[in-house]
Amino acid sequence: MRTSSIWKAALAGAALLHVAATAHAQGEAKVDEGALKYRQSLMEAVGGDMAALTNILKYGLTVPGAAQVHAEGLASHAKLTTVAFERKVTAGPTDAEPAIWEKPDEFAQSVQKFEAETAKLVDVAKNGDLAALGAQVKATGKSCGSCHDSFRKPKEESFKRKGGGS
């Protein structure tokens, strides 16, 4: 092979490597974006079920079976929380604190408490006792709040307050 052919082949190889590296980086960015959006959707679903339960209690609504459905939704969402935060995405529109990945055991304990409280919530919602339901909604909310205290940016730093959102 002549020298010019070797250089052409080397340049072509370098160009291919550059294209492949760029495509890989773009693919990773897309996966990060998807992981972030999934995480946000899951947390919005949690918030929606908590708000629905709170409204049932606050306004004395009689919506047969609703409390149980929302409690079961929360319990299901709680089981997905750990998976939703497996991929470390701290850049972009996120309220997740890096502590989630820096203190994984502490984060896991917080999620386990949330799972336990939502499981209790399902049991309480099945019996229809509104006073017991109110107490367990409060306990479940405390488990959410304790995780937020350590692992979520303060509300004033929220990406949604800064014009972000889904």
CATH number at residue 107: 1.20.120.10
In whole angstroms, what is the distance from residue 138 CA to residue 57 CA? 11
Instruction: Tell me whether residue 4 is in a domain.
Output: no
Least confident of 20-34, 113-127, 150-164: 20-34
Instruction: Tell me whether residue 71 is in a domain.
Output: yes
Average pLDDT over residues 13-23: 52
Percent of the chain with pLDDT over 70: 81
In whole angstroms, what is the distance from residue 35 CA to residue 38 CA? 5
- Residue 96's φ and ψ, nearest 5 degrees, are -70, 135
| pLDDT of the residue at 71 | 98
* Structural domain for 48, as ranges: 36-157
Instruction: Tell me whether residue 98 is in a domain.
Output: yes
Domain count, the chain: 1
User: Would the pTM of this model clear 0.85, i.e. be above it?
Assistant: no
Instruction: Tell me whether residue 6 is in a domain.
Output: no
Dihedral, CA of residue 43, residue 44, residue 50 and residue 55, to nearest 10: 170
| pLDDT of the residue at 109 | 96
Residue 96 bridge partners (DSSP): 152
Residue 146 backbone zone (phi > 0: left; psi -120 to 50: alpha; other: beta): alpha
In whole angstroms, what is the distance from residue 97 CA to residue 42 CA? 17
Instruction: Tell me whether residue 121 is in a domain.
Output: yes
Q: What is the pLDDT of residues 97-154, one digit of tens each?
A: 999 999 999 999 999 999 999 999 999 999 989 999 999 999 999 999 999 999 999 8
Average pLDDT over residues 47-68: 96
Instruction: Tell me whether residue 9 is in a domain.
Output: no
Averaged confidence pLDDT in the chain: 87
Under the banding of pLDDT at 50, 70 and 90, the label for residue 20 is very low
Average pLDDT over residues 24-51: 89
**Residue 165: CB atoms within 10 Å:** 11
Instruction: Tell me whether residue 42 is in a domain.
Output: yes
Instruction: Tell me whether residue 7 is in a domain.
Output: no
Give the residue with greater pLDDT, 46 vs 24. 46
Residue 152 bridge partners (DSSP): 96
Token pair listed for 136: 């367990």
Under the banding of pLDDT at 50, 70 and 90, the label for residue 89 is very high
**Residue 131: CB atoms within 10 Å:** 9
